[in-house]
Structure 1
């Protein structure tokens, strides 16, 4: 099995599959022939949101909570190759610590069941990615979104704390919308202007990162594209960086390969 590049045909677990980003990740992963396990609290709600997928033979739905260690362990115990965590704040319950609480359970279950590959969705505004925020965005981050970002910040610390056990990628999206899939967005390391991105495009990056593994051990800021008059469109892979590449499918060791050419 390829440790760092999770190819179609392998099995992934998606947390937060009932949310907008999670639904897009599940849909696109299934379309690319991944086997997908989801852990959801409300199975009826999930199936109603994705009625065209409920009979897909590559989809396994498990009822449970992402902040319950036994439920998470059950979802992880059936031969998973990777985990994608799209959990966000539960606005109905006003639960602003769900992301950090769940991440602890997910990390522990991954270590227990020897699953290494992890992609976690947090938020732009963390890790110094707010340098290009306008005054209104700064105000929102410090007031309305403060508790949410504090929990996401703690979630990132929990992920990086277990870096010796996990091949993680942190994804920090800009504000999200329900626009169409364009495959047209910016990926950067660090600060970026706040430009809204569709959940479909965010999912496109996440599923693509499963295959590419170019952001392992790092954090990618993903934003929409804001066209400028008389300029060329930005569209393409993230900036050059060093990534893990397995020596062979049967090898348990890896070597560094430079993407700089």
Structure 2
């Protein structure tokens, strides 16, 4: 049973990641949240939780953790402190703890934030966090979805190193892609963009 730390477990996408992990054989999610009041929703389902603030010491959060999914975000309020430096903080601790894989939820546009028409500060922060992860010693997968929506899961995506067009994808399918990226060896040390498409998620990840 692999213990998977989910950073940003209280977020809209993070909650779905925890739920998928909890219902997937071989995984035991550990929900990382910032406030004690956020813990009960997970504890009531017998899901392990840990208090962790990305802006503070996180050494305790990675103890006995096999892999990490980073689905945290500041919602545009603290892009440097959370989306960039907070991510780097967790990556450092994951490296020290010999975590076997770090799956980063990034964003389309993070490869070239200077070209973006909007959200440049956010995309720059994500870019810097992604680059820091690539240069670490932790095996990684960096997943860059298009615009997220809250529609029901389709179970199918389009994938590529760099997709030519913009588009949307459901949060549910992003969450499933993040979880599938934990297992697929083809995704290790790869960065890939995803949109809604026609390929089943597991099949798509085998092609990257």
Unaligned runs of 5+ in 1: 1-8, 131-137, 226-232, 242-261
Residue-by-residue CA offset, 1:140-190 (whole Å, 9 max, x unaligned): x333x111111111111111121xx11101010100011112211111111
How many Å separate the matches in 2 of 1:171 and 1:35? 21
Instruction: Indicate how the Cα distance of structure 1 residues 104 and 173 shifts in structure 2: closer, same or farther if over 3 A, else same.
Output: same
Structure-1 separation of matches of 2:38 and 2:32: 12
- Mapped to 1, the partners of 2:206 and 2:112 lie a distance apart of 18
Answer yes or no: is 1:151 the counterpart of 2:125.
yes
**1:41, distance to aligned residue in structure 2 (A):** 1.0
- Contact 1:128-1:190 within 8 A present in 2 as well: no
| Structure 1 position 107, deviation (Å) | 1.8
Of Structure 1 and Structure 2, the greater helix share is in: 2
Distance in 2 between residues matched to 1:223 and 1:148, nearest whole Å: 20
Q: 1:189 is matched with which residue? A: 161
CA contact (8 A) 1:12 1:83 kept: yes
Instruction: Please name the residue that 2:49 is paired with.
Output: 61
Q: What TM-score, normalized by structure 1, do the two folds share?
A: 0.72
Q: Structure 1 pair 187/46, CA: closer, same or farther in 2 (3 Å)?
A: farther
> Are positions 1:36 and 2:36 aligned together?
no
Partner of 2:79: 96
Q: Secondary structure at the match of 1:237?
A: helix
Displaced runs of 4+ in structure 1, greater than 3 A? 233-236, 238-241
Give the aligned partner of residue 11 of structure 2: 19
Give, in whole Å, the separation in 2 of the partners of 1:185 and 1:14.
22
SS in 2 for 1:75: coil
Other structure's SS at 1:214 match: helix
State the number of aligned residues.
Answer: 204
Question: How far is 1:214 from its partner?
Answer: 1.6
* 1:1-261 map, 5 Å: 9-33=1-25, 34-45=27-38, 47=40, 51=41, 53-57=42-46, 59-69=47-57, 72-77=58-63, 79-91=64-76, 94-97=77-80, 98-127=82-111, 141-143=116-118, 145-162=119-136, 165-225=137-197, 233-235=198-200, 236-238=203-205, 240=207
Distance 1:43 1:213 in 2: 35
Alignment gaps of 5+ in structure 2: none
- CA spacing shift, 1:10–1:219, aligned 2, 3 Å: same
Question: Bigger radius of gyration, 1 or 2?
Answer: 1
| TM superposition shift of 1:128 | 5.3
